[in-house]
C-alpha cells in the first residue's frame, strides 16, 4: 500500500505503544490506533499539515484533519480535562490551516506532572475505518517533528461517503444552544428520532445515530456549530424537518440545579496532602474512618462464545432494568428521575451496538459491556464540557450494576461501616442510594457540584466534597479523617487534639440538628420576636411535598411547574395540570402554595415549543416572555391553577417591568370571570437588575415579590452560570447583588408588599442574616435545610442583622462580605 500521510511527533519525549498509557480507553485503542509519547518539552506542534478542527474546551486536546481526510487527535496526558484549562495556553484557533510543526499549544509541564494522573500522551487517528497505522516508531526518544508513524488507506469507503451517495434529503442547522448538544438536548433529539425512520447526523466530519443519546453527545457539538441531518429516502423529508425544528428550538443551557447553592472552593494543587481542598457539593461536617471504594467485580476478557455471552448480557440487563423500575416505583423526585435516565441508557442503541461488536470479537459479556460504556464515557470527557464529563458518572453507574448482575446476586460489595467517610475517585448514584443511611460523609477525587450524585447527596443530607484530586489516593483505609463540607477541606490523620475538637463539634452539631428537628414544626421567629416564614422549594410530587412538611415547611414558596412540561412530545392538558397541582395542595393542607408559571429557557428546551433562533437566547425569550409569546400555553395553565383549592398564589418568572404583569393580569381576570372565582394573589420574580430598580412600580402591580437570587446574581454580575471559568466567581453576597436586593425591598416597602427569597442564597447560612437585615421576611429553601434554617433564624436579632447589612453594602467584594459575616456572626 502507498503511504497516505506521515504523522509527526507533536512534542519531544519517549515514544511507546498505546498499551503503556494508564487508561483503558486509550490503551485498548477504543478511540483509535497510534502511539504514545511521554513529553519532555512543553510545546505541542501540529503533527501534519491540515485544518485544526477541534480544540477541547479544557484546552488539553487538539485534532487536525489532514488533506487526505485523516483526523489526528493529540491528547495531552491522562485526566487533564479535570484541570479545566489550567496550565494550557493556545496559540491557534479552530478552523485555522496549519503546517506540520506549527505551534498549536504550550503547557506547564511541572504543573501537569503534579496534577495529572499521567503525562503519557496519545497521538491517534480517530477515523481508523479509513486508515491503518504502519511503521510505528516506538520505544525510542523522539524529537518534535520526527515521523512517529505512517497512515495507509484501508480501501474501505467511510460511512459518511457511502451514505452521502444514498442520501435523498438533508438539512443544515446551526446549533444556537449555547452549550451545544449536551445531555438534555441529546436526550430530546434521541427520543424524537426513535419514532422516525432511519436518519443520520453529521458534525465535525463525523456521523452519529440520532437515536443514541451517547452518539449525539460524543459529536462534541457546541453553540454556533453546524450539523447536517440526513435522510435516505424521499419519504424522509418530514423526519429531517422535525429533527431540524427541534434543534433550532433548543435554548442555551444552564448548569443543572443544585439542591442548595454553595460557594465553590478552588482546588489548587495542595501544598499539604494531609489537608486537601475540594468543592462543597453538600454542606455538613463529619468525622470518621476512611473507607475506600473499589467494588467493580473482576471480569474475564475472553468469553464462552457469542451465543452464551449475548444471553448472559441480556439476562443481566433485564435484571438491572427490573431493579431500576422497582426503585422508580418506590422513589420520589430526583431518585425516580435518575432511575428513568438509567433505564433509557440501558437500552441506548450505540452502547448496545458497541457491546455486541465486542461479543462478536470474542469478548465476555462483562468485558464487552464495560468497554462499550468506557468508550462513550471517554468520548464525553474528551469534549471538555464539564456537564458532559459529569454525566459520564451515569455510565460508570450502569457499568457497575450490570457487572454485578453478571456476577450473580451474591456479588454484593463490601458493606460500608456506619459513620465512615467514603473515599473514591467517583461515586455512582445507585451506590449512594444504597449506602446513604450508613455514610458519615463523602470525598471524591473527581465529579462536580452539578453531577447527579452531588445533587442527590444534598437532597439526602450527606456531607460531600468533590474534585478533591489525586491527594485522596494517599489516604490509607481506616485512617481517621475530618470532612468539613462547610469550609471545603479534608483533614487526613489529624492529631489527637484536633480530632478531639472535631468530635466535640460533630457531637454538638448532631445535638443541634436533633434540637432543630424537634422544633422544626414550630412557627419561626427571630430572637427579637419578628416573624419570618420558612417555606420549601418544590419541583415534583406530592410525596416530595409531604417530606417538606415533615421537615417543618410552613408552605411552598416556589413550585416549579416545568417538571410537568419537560421530556414529552406534547404539553400537559388542563386536567393533568389541575390534578398534579391539587395533589400538592392537598399534601400541604392549609399551608400557602406559591406556583410559578411555566419558566422555560436555559437548560429546559421543549420539543413542542420550538423557540426562534436568537443571537443571545439567555437575553431572549425566557420566563414570562415565552408565556406571552405563546399565550395558549399560559391560558391552559391559568385555568388549571384557578381550579385548585384552596386558592394558590401565582408567581410570574423573569419579570422586567409592570407592563408584562398587566398583560398577564388581564388574561387572568378574564379566566377568573369565566370561572366565577376571585382573583388569586399574583406575584413577580425579581431576577434582573431592571426589575430590582423598578421594584416600587412592580410592587404596585402585584401582591408579593420573590427574589430569584441565582439569576439576579448572574445578570447583575454579567457572568454566565454555565461558564466553566466564571461560575465559581458568581457569589450572591457580592455587594452589587446585595444592593439590588436592597433596592427590591425598599421598592416593595413603598406598597407594603412582602419580599421572599427563593433562590440558592436563602440556603446559605452566611447570607441569611444579611437577607433579613435587608428586609426579606420569607425564605424558601430545599426541604432538608429547613430545620437548620429555622434554628439559625431563632438565634438572630433583627437590629443586629440590619447593622450587619448596612456595613456589607459599603464593602467592595463578596470575599469581604463573607469575612465580615464570619467575624460578626461566626
Question: How remote is the C-alpha of 317 from its chain's centroid?
Answer: 26
Catalytic one of 452, 556, 580, 734: 452
> Which of 592, 593, 561, 600 lies closest to 577 in space, CA to CA?
561
CA dist., res. 433 & res. 412, Å (int): 14
How open is the CA angle 220-714-81, to the nearest 5 degrees?
Answer: 30
505: helix, strand or coil: helix
Q: What is the 3-state secondary structure (H, E, C) of 262-284?
A: CCCCCCCCCCCCCCCECEEEECC
DSSP 523: P
Residues 661, 606 contacting (CB under 8 angstroms): no
Residues 520, 551 contacting (CB under 8 angstroms): yes
Residues 679, 647 contacting (CB under 8 angstroms): no
67: helix, strand or coil: coil
CA dist., res. 146 & res. 168, Å (int): 45
Q: Identify whether 646 is preceded by a cis peptide bond (ω within 30 of 0).
A: yes
Q: What burial letters (b/e) apply to 340-349, b meaning 16+ CB within 10 Å?
A: ebbbebbebb
- 543: CB partners within 8 A, 6+ apart: 332, 333, 587
Residues 231, 177 contacting (CB under 8 angstroms): no
Burial class (CB within 10 angstroms; exposed 0-12, middle 13-18, buried 19+) of 517? middle
> Which of 431, 440, 490 lies closest to 461 in space, CA to CA?
440
Phi and psi for 350 in degrees, rounded to 5? Answer: -70, -45
| Helix ranges restricted to H, 36-125 | 109-115
Residues 732, 704 contacting (CB under 8 angstroms): no
Residues 121, 36 contacting (CB under 8 angstroms): yes
C-alpha cell of residue 61 = 486536546
How many CA atoms, within 13 angstroms, populate the side-chain half-sphere of residue 750? 14
Q: Dihedral through CA 705, CA 709, CA 711, CA 716, nearest 10?
A: 100
Per DSSP, which regions of 485-584 are E strands?
489-492, 533-538, 556-560
Per DSSP, the residues of 397-457 read HHHHHHHHHHH-TT-PPPPPPTTEEEEES---HHHHHHHTTTEEEEEESS--TTSHHHHHH
C-alpha cell of residue 578 = 389541575
Residues 740, 687 contacting (CB under 8 angstroms): no
Residues 295, 473 contacting (CB under 8 angstroms): no
C-alpha cell of residue 255 = 448548569
CA dist., res. 424 & res. 397, Å (int): 13
Q: Rounded to 5, what percent of the chain is helix, strand, coil?
A: 40, 20, 40
DSSP 21: S
> Is 758 a catalytic site residue?
yes
In sequence order, the β-bridge partners of residue 424 are 444
Residues 69, 51 contacting (CB under 8 angstroms): no
Catalytic one of 524, 580, 758, 801: 758
Q: Which helix (H) or strand (E) holds 44?
A: strand 43-45
Residues 544, 580 contacting (CB under 8 angstroms): no
C-alpha cell of residue 501 = 475538637
55: helix, strand or coil: strand
Give catalytic residue positions. 452, 758
Amino acid at each position: 500500500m502507498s503511504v497516505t500521510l506521515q504523522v509527526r511527533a507533536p512534542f519531544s519525549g519517549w515514544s511507546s505503544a498505546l498499551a503503556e498509557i494508564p487508561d483503558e480507553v486509550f490503551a485498548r485503542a477504543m478511540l483509535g490506533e497510534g502511539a504514545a509519547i511521554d513529553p519532555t518539552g512543553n510545546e505541542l506542534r501540529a503533527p501534519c499539515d491540515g485544518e485544526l478542527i477541534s480544540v477541547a474546551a479544557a484546552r488539553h486536546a487538539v485534532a487536525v484533519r489532514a488533506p487526505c481526510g485523516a483526523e489526528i487527535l493529540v491528547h495531552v496526558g491522562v485526566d487533564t480535562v479535570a484541570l479545566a484549562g489550567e496550565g494550557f495556553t493556545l496559540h491557534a484557533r479552530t478552523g485555522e490551516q496549519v503546517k506540520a510543526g506549527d505551534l498549536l499549544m504550550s503547557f506547564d509541564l511541572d504543573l501537569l506532572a503534579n496534577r495529572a494522573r499521567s503525562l503519557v500522551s496519545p497521538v491517534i487517528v480517530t477515523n481508523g475505518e479509513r486508515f491503518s497505522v504502519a511503521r510505528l516508531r516506538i520505544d525510542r526518544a523522539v524529537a518534535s517533528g520526527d515521523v512517529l508513524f505512517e497512515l495507509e488507506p484501508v480501501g474501505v469507503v467511510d460511512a459518511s461517503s457511502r451514505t452521502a451517495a444514498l442520501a435523498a434529503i438533508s438539512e443544515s442547522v446551526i446549533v444556537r444552544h449555547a452549550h451545544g448538544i449536551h445531555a438534555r438536548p441529546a436526550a430530546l433529539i434521541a427520543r424524537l428520532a426513535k419514532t422516525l425512520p432511519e436518519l443520520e447526523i453529521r458534525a465535525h466530519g463525523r456521523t452519529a445515530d440520532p437515536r443514541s443519546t451517547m452518539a449525539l453527545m460524543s459529536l462534541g457539538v457546541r453553540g454556533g456549530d453546524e450539523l447536517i441531518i440526513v435522510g435516505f429516502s424521499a419519504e424522509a423529508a418530514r423526519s429531517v424537518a422535525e429533527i431540524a425544528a427541534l434543534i433550532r428550538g433548543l435554548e442555551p443551557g444552564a448548569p443543572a440545579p443544585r439542591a442548595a447553592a454553595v460557594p465553590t472552593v478552588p482546588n489548587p494543587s495542595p501544598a499539604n496532602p494531609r489537608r486537601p481542598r475540594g468543592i462543597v457539593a453538600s454542606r455538613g461536617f463529619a468525622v470518621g474512618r476512611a473507607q475506600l471504594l473499589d467494588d467493580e467485580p473482576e471480569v474475564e476478557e475472553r468469553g464462552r462464545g457469542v451465543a452464551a455471552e449475548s444471553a448472559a448480557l441480556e439476562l443481566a440487563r433485564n435484571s438491572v432494568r427490573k431493579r431500576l423500575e422497582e426503585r422508580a416505583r418506590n422513589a420520589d423526585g430526583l431518585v425516580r428521575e435518575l432511575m428513568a435516565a438509567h433505564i433509557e441508557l440501558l437500552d441506548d442503541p450505540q452502547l448496545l451496538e458497541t457491546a455486541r461488536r465486542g461479543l462478536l470479537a470474542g469478548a465476555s459479556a462483562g468485558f464487552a459491556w464495560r468497554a462499550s460504556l468506557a468508550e462513550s464515557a471517554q468520548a464525553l470527557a474528551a469534549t471538555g464540557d464539564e456537564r458532559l464529563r459529569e454525566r459520564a458518572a451515569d455510565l460508570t453507574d450502569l457499568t457497575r450494576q450490570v457487572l454485578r448482575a453478571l456476577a450473580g446476586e451474591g456479588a454484593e460489595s463490601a458493606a460500608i461501616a456506619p459513620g465512615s467517610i467514603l473515599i473514591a475517585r467517583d461515586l455512582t448514584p445507585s451506590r449512594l442510594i444504597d449506602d446513604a443511611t450508613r455514610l458519615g460523609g463523602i470525598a471524591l477525587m473527581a465529579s462536580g457540584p452539578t453531577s447527579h450524585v452531588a445533587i442527590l447527596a444534598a437532597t439526602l443530607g450527606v456531607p460531600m466534597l468533590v474534585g478533591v484530586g489525586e491527594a485522596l489516593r494517599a489516604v490509607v483505609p481506616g485512617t481517621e479523617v475530618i470532612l468539613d463540607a462547610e469550609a471545603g477541606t479534608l483533614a487526613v490523620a489529624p492529631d489527637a487534639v484536633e480530632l478531639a475538637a472535631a468530635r466535640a463539634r460533630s457531637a454538638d452539631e448532631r445535638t443541634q440538628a436533633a434540637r432543630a428537628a424537634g422544633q422544626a414544626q414550630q412557627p419561626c421567629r427571630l430572637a427579637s420576636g419578628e416573624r419570618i416564614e420558612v417555606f420549601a422549594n418544590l419541583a415534583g410530587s406530592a410525596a416530595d411535598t409531604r417530606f417538606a412538611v415533615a421537615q417543618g415547611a410552613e408552605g411552598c414558596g416556589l413550585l416549579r411547574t416545568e417538571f410537568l412540561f419537560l421530556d414529552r412530545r406534547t404539553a400537559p392538558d388542563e386536567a393533568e395540570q389541575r390534578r398534579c397541582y391539587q395533589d400538592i395542595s392537598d399534601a400541604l393542607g392549609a399551608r400557602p402554595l406559591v406556583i410559578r408559571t411555566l419558566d422555560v429557557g436555559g437548560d429546559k428546551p421543549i420539543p413542542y415549543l420550538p423557540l426562534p433562533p436568537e443571537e443571545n437566547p439567555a437575553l431572549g425569550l425566557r420566563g414570562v416572555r415565552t408565556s406571552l409569546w405563546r399565550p395558549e400555553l399560559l391560558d391552559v395553565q391559568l385555568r388549571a391553577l384557578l381550579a385548585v383549592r384552596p386558592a394558590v398564589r401565582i408567581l410570574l418568572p423573569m419579570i422586567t417591568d409592570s407592563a408584562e404583569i398587566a398583560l398577564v393580569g388581564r388574561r387572568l381576570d378574564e379566566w377568573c370571570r369565566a370561572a366565577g372565582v376571585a382573583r388569586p394573589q399574583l406575584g413577580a420574580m425579581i431576577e434582573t437588575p431592571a426589575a430590582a430598580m423598578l421594584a416600587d412600580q412592580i410592587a404596585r402591580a402585584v401582591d408579593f415579590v420573590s427574589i430569584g437570587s441565582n439569576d439576579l446574581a448572574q445578570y447583575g454580575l454579567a457572568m454566565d452560570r454555565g461558564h466553566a471559568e466564571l461560575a465559581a466567581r458568581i457569589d450572591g453576597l457580592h455587594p452589587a447583588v446585595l444592593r439590588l436586593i436592597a433596592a427590591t425591598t425598599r421598592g416593595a416597602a413603598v406598597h407594603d408588599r412582602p419580599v421572599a427569597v427563593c433562590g440558592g442564597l436563602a440556603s446559605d447560612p452566611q447570607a441569611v442574616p444579611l437577607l433579613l437585615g435587608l428586609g426579606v421576611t420569607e425564605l424558601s429553601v430545599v426541604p432538608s435545610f429547613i430545620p437548620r434554617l429555622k434554628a439559625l433564624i431563632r438565634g438572630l436579632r433583627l437590629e443586629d442583622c440590619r447593622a450587619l447589612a448596612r456595613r456589607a453594602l459599603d464593602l467592595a467584594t463578596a470575599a469581604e462580605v463573607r469575612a465580615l459575616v464570619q467575624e460578626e456572626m461566626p
